[in-house]
Amino acid sequence: MTAYIIRRILLMIPTLFAIMLINFAVIHIAPGGPVEQVIAELSGIGGEITERVSRSGSGETLEQGRSQSGALGRQSGSSKYRGAQGLDPEFIAELEQRFGFDKPLHVRFYQTIKNYIFFDFGESFFKDQSVTDLVLDKMPVSISLGLWTTLFVYLISIPLGIVKATRDGTRFDGWTTVALIVGTAIPGFLFAVFLLVVFAGGSYLDWFPLSGLTSGNWDELSWMQKIADYFWHITLPVIAMVIGGFAGLAMLTKNSFLDQVSQQYVLTARAKGLAERRVLYGHVFRNAMLIVIAGFPSAFISILFTGSLLIEIIFSLDGLGLLGFEAAFNRDYPVMFATLYFFSLLGLVMNLVGDLTYTIIDPRIDFESRETS
């Protein structure tokens, strides 16, 4: 097992390198980089990006750009940046230096990977804060959503899948299958809007808060009140994420049980006169749950970093999903690449943990390759 773990860890290095290389090339080739973002703002097209860059240490450069932006079109010359015609080339050069674009693409990639090896993710272009601090600041919100969603998805899916397997072909199985299909067909963000309208003071009931993970008077609450306040705020977002997340896992659990029930060892156990409950939970359960439970690490990563984006936006939860969306929208490359690197590495590690979980659930499984004589 040690040799297998070492091989998997060594395989992570080229995999992570390839992920970063492909995304680095694609993102830099795509138009609309941070330099273009600032130029667009100076031209009156963008939003508040310039102000954030100014607070990050380029105030004089941007003031120079503002004074020259009024002369757009009155100066001759061309630029590789769309909308930069008429701006002083020295100003454009200072912007490129500010964002690191004065170096060739391969040099920037090398420096990025070199820093990321030591988890040095640099500073955000537009938030005047280190990327590490930004991620750590947003992570509790996303972890809260991911943990509770994954917990409830498994608590609902596994018992439901087992019951469906034991009642395969009955009316209960048919009606629950229809309910699962409907739950899967409804997008999570649409259900989130429905919950807000019905239960958060939209048009009907005012039982839950509209936004945030805690109340404004959080610091004044006792620890019991803080716990109640936390669950009060997180109820609707978690329900919105759970509603469409347990259908696939429930069907996987059912099919795993049905597959194991038809195996010879189950027929033998029944022939020996064992009670059906003992056959199901003493023999079938461990084998059927192998693929379900072992997939927990990857399921958690998927829910944590891909399933909560729209939910965080709808419920105004300042988490990693919203941070990644804003970084992509504003072309904040340090945040984009740092989160990509961190979450890709975490995903690779969780895949390894998932494989190791197989061996914990069933010690008979061995990933070591053996020579056959």
Q: What is the mean pLDDT of residues 176-189?
A: 82
**Which residue segments constitute the domains of the chain, with CATH numbers given?**
34-120 (no CATH), 132-361 (1.10.3720.10)
Higher pLDDT, 258 or 97: 258
pLDDT above 70 for 66: no
Rounding to the nearest 10 degrees, give the CA dihedral for residues 296, 297, 302, 303.
60
Nearest to 310 by CA among 138, 189, 212: 189
DSSP secondary structure code for residue 218 in this structure: G
What confidence score (pLDDT) does residue 372 get? 45
pLDDT-derived band at 15, boundaries 50, 70, 90? very high
pLDDT mean across residues, the chain: 77
Q: What amino acid occupies position 316?
A: S
What confidence score (pLDDT) does residue 54 get? 47
Q: What b/e string do you get for 72-94 counting C-beta neighbours within 10 Å, with b at 16 or more?
A: beeeeeeeebebbebbbeebbeb
What confidence score (pLDDT) does residue 255 get? 84
Please give the structure tokens belonging to residue 130: 């280190």
146-150, 235-239, 275-279: lowest mean pLDDT where?
A: 275-279
Question: What is the distance between the alpha carbons of residues 71 and 62, in angstroms, rounded to a whole number?
Answer: 15
Rounding to the nearest 10 degrees, give the CA dihedral for residues 67, 73, 75, 76.
150
pLDDT above 50 for 337: yes
What confidence score (pLDDT) does residue 79 get? 55
Rounding to the nearest 10 degrees, give the CA dihedral for residues 82, 88, 92, 98.
-150
125 near 333, Cβ under 8 Å? Answer: yes
Question: What is the distance between the alpha carbons of residues 157 and 176, in angstroms, rounded to a whole number?
Answer: 11
pLDDT-derived band at 47, boundaries 50, 70, 90? very low
47 near 41, Cβ under 8 Å? Answer: yes
43-52, 107-116, 210-219: lowest mean pLDDT where?
A: 43-52
The three-state secondary structure class of 44 is coil
pLDDT above 90 for 18: yes
Q: Residue 200's beta-bridge partner residues?
A: 206
The three-state secondary structure class of 80 is coil
Higher pLDDT, 128 or 12: 12
- DSSP of 106-136: HHHHHHHHHHHHTT---B-SSSSSBHHHHHH
1 near 359, Cβ under 8 Å? Answer: yes
What confidence score (pLDDT) does residue 316 get? 80
Sign of CA dihedral 18, 21, 23, 25: negative
